[in-house]
Amino acid sequence: MAEFEPVLLRRVGKVDSAALSTYRADGGYRALTKALNEMSPAQVVELVKDSGLRGRGGAGFPCGVKWTFLPKDHPGPIYLCVNADESEPCTFNNRILMEDDPHQVLEGILLACYATRASTAYLYLRYEYGRAYRVLQSAIDELYAANLLGKNILGKDFHLDVYLHRGAAAYICGEETGLIESLEGKRGWPRIKPPFPAVEGAFRKPTVVNNIETLACVTHIIDRGSAWFKSIGVPPDPKNPRDAGSYGPKLYCISGHVNKPCCVELPLGVTVRELVEKYGGGVWKGRKAKGCIPGGISMGIMTESEFDTPLDFNGPGRVGCLGLGTAAVTIFDDQTSIVDVLYNICRFFAHESCGQCTPCREGTGWMFKIMERFRRGQGRIEDLQILEEVGKSIGIMPGTTICGLADGAGWPVKNAVAKFRLELEEFIKKGVQSESALPLAMAN
């Protein structure tokens, strides 16, 4: 890969990088000034749409297209809900942006609200992110003092208030309607759709929900143009009419069994192998990799032989994964039991299922109980078929649940049974407990 100059992370590590003064000294709010003085809201929408920016929160839906779903003649109010919940395990790219360069994110929020005619933005923040909360609130206070928030921003007929809302740390609130329900003070249960949030969202008004990293990209698209953005990443596959391309820079989290866990910014399309060997310092303790979770556990599992798969919006799907997700790459080495990997995954989803949909509530629980039996040395060969059947029977795609949590719960299970069946069968035949299932003293 040619040398790449970071854009989203370029200010991280600078002295006082979170301050308004240093952000402006580095060209900050130039994009906002340009948009308010030279562009109409419709032109901002069209520019973002033309850039091919796809949501960085997991689903990869085109950002500009989502903005066009708002009703054209609605008298308002229109809301922007910013998803800063970041509850996908091993994902921490949004945290870095919020803590080290909050004004980059806030400028993206201002631009998105100008484009969509939103007068209020709610930044829904994961409760555990205490530092991010303090840094963001300080940055918001600076903007009000500088007339960059509130009434008549930069002397124009543009008004915006931004509020921080701390969630209660539920994975389900990463789903946009679950987030909206929580924001309204209710149980974080996803809503049945339609109506979609663009028509009836927060407080039953038209609402756009965007991710932190997505909005940070908007800042640079307005400043540098859509052609610049499309010069980075992977163009559409001409053989796939449904491929919208994978344009722009992306923040990749690297963690698990690597020597240097980190977050790096690279063009979309980098491979897992390059991330691990060039940026993650290789697999720890001189071991080899057995596999990885390529984009958060809901995306499924890759084997080591699949590490040359490009991590763009289409690449992971070619090896049976659900998608790119949050691009949080988690490595597990060749001394890690796939039983332990699956146990942790199933335990997480059984705990985080909101319980509204019976297939998800019961299915995630069944898979967790089966993996508990595996770790006690009581697994059965027929359990593998049950795991596959449950994984295929829960979720939006088979049409049994309201949101995609169940799809995310089933995908890594289906991957593991298909790709590591021999190891699972061998574990069953041996009938031994997993070391990590033993008391600590016995395991040692």
Q: Where are the domains of the chain?
A: 20-232, 251-333, 338-437
Q: What is the CATH number of domain 338-437?
A: 1.20.1440.230
Predicted local distance difference test score (pLDDT) of residue 243: 84
Architecture of the domain whose range is 20-232 = 3-Layer(aba) Sandwich (3.40)
**Arithmetic mean of pLDDT, 134-163:** 97
Residue type, 391: G
- The answer to whether residue 441 scores a pLDDT higher than 90 is no
What confidence category does residue 76 fall into, taking pLDDT thresholds of 50, 70 and 90? confident
What confidence category does residue 219 fall into, taking pLDDT thresholds of 50, 70 and 90? very high
- The answer to whether residue 217 scores a pLDDT higher than 90 is yes
Share of the chain above pLDDT 70, in %: 97
* 204 vs 73, residue with greater confidence: 204
CA 80-311-274 angle, 5° bins: 130
pLDDT in tens, 267-289: 999 999 999 999 999 999 999 99
Predicted local distance difference test score (pLDDT) of residue 434: 60
State the pTM of this model.
0.92
pLDDT in tens, 348-361: 999 999 999 999 99
pLDDT in tens, 120-132: 999 999 999 999 9
**Preceding amide of 238 cis, omega within 30:** no
Predicted local distance difference test score (pLDDT) of residue 264: 96
Predicted local distance difference test score (pLDDT) of residue 244: 86
Q: How many CB atoms lie within 10 A of CB 193?
A: 14
pLDDT in tens, 303-316: 999 999 999 999 99
Please say whether the structural domain 251-333 has been given the CATH code 3.10.20.600: yes
Of 36, 133, 135, 118, nearest in space to 86 by CA: 133
- The answer to whether residue 433 scores a pLDDT higher than 70 is no
